[in-house]
A and B are shown apart, each in its own frame.
Chain A
Amino acid sequence: MKHGAYRVTLRYIMTIVLVVTVVLALNYALLLFLTRYSPSVKQPARTAESIADEWAQNGSLSRDTMDRIEGDDLWVQVIGPDGTVIYAYHTPPDIGDHYSLQDIARFSRNYLRDYPVYTWESGDNILVLGYPKHSIARYHISLPTNTVRSWPLTILGMIVLNVILTILIAAVLGRRVTRPLGPLIDGIFSLNREKSVGLEEKGIYRDLAHSINKTAKAIRDKNRTIKERDAAIRHWIAGISHDVRTPLSMILGYSALIGEDNALPSDTHSQAAIITENAVILRELIADLNLITLLQQNIHPLAKTRMKVGPVVRETVAGCVNSGVLGVSSIDVKVEDEEAAALLDESLFSRAVSNLLINSAKHNKEACHIVVTVSGQGTHVSVTVADDGCGIPGERIRQIHEQSIDSVDRDRGFGLILVKSIVEAHGGQFDLQSDEGKGTVARLLVPGV
Chain B
Amino acid sequence: MEDIQNRKILLVDDERPLLKMLKTILRRDGFHHIVTASTCAETLARVGIERPDIAVLDVMLPDGDGFSLYREIKGRVDIPVLFLTARGEAEDRIVGLGLGADDYIVKPFLPRELTLRLRAVLRRTYAAPLAELPVFRLPACSVDMGKAEVSRGEETIPLTAKEHALLLALYQNAGRIVTTDALCQAGWGDDAYGYENTLMVHIRRIREKIERDPSSPVSLVTVKGLGYKLLV
Interface residues, chain A, with chain B CB atoms under 8 Å away: 241-242, 244-246, 248-254, 256-257, 260, 276, 279-280, 283, 287, 290-291, 294, 300-301, 303, 308, 310-311, 314-315, 317-318, 321-322, 332-335, 338
Name A242's contact: one of B15, B25, B86, B176 (CB within 8 Å). Answer: B86
Task: Supply 15 A–B pairs (Cβ within 8 Å), ascending by A.
Answer: A245-B107, A246-B15, A249-B18, A249-B21, A250-B21, A252-B111, A253-B111, A254-B21, A257-B111, A290-B87, A303-B92, A315-B179, A317-B226, A318-B182, A335-B225
Which chain B residues border A338 with CB–CB below 8 Å?
A: 193
* Residues of the A chain whose Cβ atoms lie less than 8 Å from the Cβ of B180: 314
Could you tell me which residues of chain B, from 127 to 145, have a CB within 8 Å of some CB in chain A?
A: none
Partner of A308, one of B22, B86, B193: B193
Cα distance A283–B113 in the bound complex, in angstroms: 14
* Residues of chain B at the chain A interface (Cβ within 8 Å): 15, 17-18, 21-22, 24-25, 28, 86-89, 92, 107-112, 173, 176-182, 193, 223-227
A residues in contact with B109, CB < 8 Å? 249, 252
Which of A253, A260, A335 has a CB less than 8 Å from the CB of B21? A253
Chain B residues closer than 8 Å to A260, beta-carbon distance: 28
Across the interface, B226 reaches (CB within 8 A) one of A241, A257, A291, A321, namely A321
Instruction: Tell me how far the C-beta of B191 lies from the nearest C-beta in chain A, rounded to whole angstroms.
Output: 9
Closest 8 pairs between A and B when the two form their complex, measured CB to CB = A333-B225, A248-B108, A311-B181, A249-B108, A322-B176, A318-B177, A245-B107, A314-B179
- Point out the residues of chain B lying under 8 angstroms from A242, CB to CB: 86, 89
Min C-beta distance of B183 to chain A, whole Å: 11
- Contact residues in B for A280 (Cβ distance below 8 Å): 110
Measured between beta carbons, the chain B residues less than 8 angstroms from A249 are 18, 21, 107-109
B108 touches A252 (CB 8 A): yes
Give the distance in Å from the alpha carbon of A335 to the alpha carbon of B108 in the complex.
Answer: 37
Q: Is the CB of B108 within 8 A of A334?
A: no
Complex-state Cα separation, A333 to B224, whole angstroms: 8
Q: How far is the CB of B116 from chain A (nearest CB, A)?
A: 13
With a cutoff of 8 Å between Cβ atoms, the chain A residues found around residue B176 in the complex are: 318, 322
8 Å CB contact of A318 from B24, B25, B92, B226: B226
Contact indicator A257/B178 (Cβ below 8 Å): no
**Of B86, B177, B178, B179, which one neighbours A245 at CB under 8 angstroms?**
B86
Query: Interface SS of chain B: helix, strand, loop or mixed?
Result: mixed
Residues in chain A near residue B88, CB distance under 8 A: 287, 290-291, 294, 300
The interface residues of chain B lying within 8 Å CB-to-CB of A314 are 179-181, 225-227
CA distance A369 to B193 in the complex (A): 28
Task: State the Cβ distance, A398 to closest chain B Cβ, in Å.
Answer: 28
- Bound state CA distance, A290 and B107, in angstroms? 14
CA distance A318 to B107 in the complex (A): 26
**Which of chain B's residues has its CB closest to A338's CB?**
B193
Q: Are B177 and A322 in contact (CB under 8 A)?
A: yes
B178 touches A318 (CB 8 A): yes
Most chain B Cβ neighbours within 10 Å, of A308, A311, A334 = A311
> Do B28 and A257 touch (CB < 8 A)?
yes
Query: Could you say which residues of chain A place their CB within 8 Å of the CB of B182?
Result: 315, 318
Asked if residues A241 and B225 are in contact (CB atoms below 8 Å), the reply is no
> B25 to A257, Cβ gap below 8 A?
yes
The answer to whether A241 and B177 have CB atoms under 8 Å apart is no
> Is the beta-carbon distance between B110 and A252 smaller than 8 angstroms?
yes
CB-CB under 8 A from A245, the residues of chain B are: 86, 107-108
Take A241-B86, A253-B21, A294-B88 as given contacts and tell me if A315 and B111 are in contact as well, using a CB distance cutoff of 8 Å.
no
* Nearest opposing residue in chain A for B15, CB measure: A246
Chain A residues, Cβ within 8 Å of B18: 246, 249-250, 253
Complex Cα–Cα for A308 and B190 (A): 13
Are A311 and B179 in touch, CB under 8 angstroms? yes
Chain B residues whose CB sits within 8 angstroms of the CB of A257 once the complex forms: 21, 24-25, 28, 111
Complex-state Cα separation, A301 to B89, whole angstroms:
12
Kindly list chain B residues whose C-beta atoms are within 8 Å of the C-beta of A279: 108
Shortest CB-to-CB span from A323 to chain B, Å, is 9
With A245-B86, A253-B24, A318-B177 given, name 14 new contacts (CB 8 A): A241-B86, A246-B107, A249-B18, A250-B17, A251-B108, A253-B18, A253-B21, A276-B110, A280-B110, A314-B180, A317-B226, A321-B223, A322-B173, A322-B177
A290 to B108, alpha carbons, bound, how many Å? Answer: 14
Find chain B residues with CB under 8 A from A334 CB. 225
Closest Cβ–Cβ distance, residue A333 to chain B (whole Å): 4
Residues of chain A within 8 A of B227, CB atoms compared: 314, 318
Q: Report the separation of the CA atoms of residues A301 and B181 in the bound assembly, to the nearest whole angstrom.
A: 27
Q: How far is the CA of A244 from the CA of B15 in the complex (A)?
A: 13
- The answer to whether A332 and B111 touch across the interface, beta carbons within 8 angstroms, is no
Q: Pick the contact of A315 from B21, B87, B181 — CB < 8 Å?
A: B181
Contacts of B179 in A (CB 8 A): 311, 314-315, 318
In the assembled complex, how far is the CB of residue B132 from the closest CB belonging to chain A, in whole angstroms? 26
Minimum CB–CB distance from A414 to chain B (whole Å) comes to 14
Whether the Cβ atoms of B110 and A332 lie closer than 8 Å is no
* Nearest chain B CB to A207 CB, angstrom units: 51
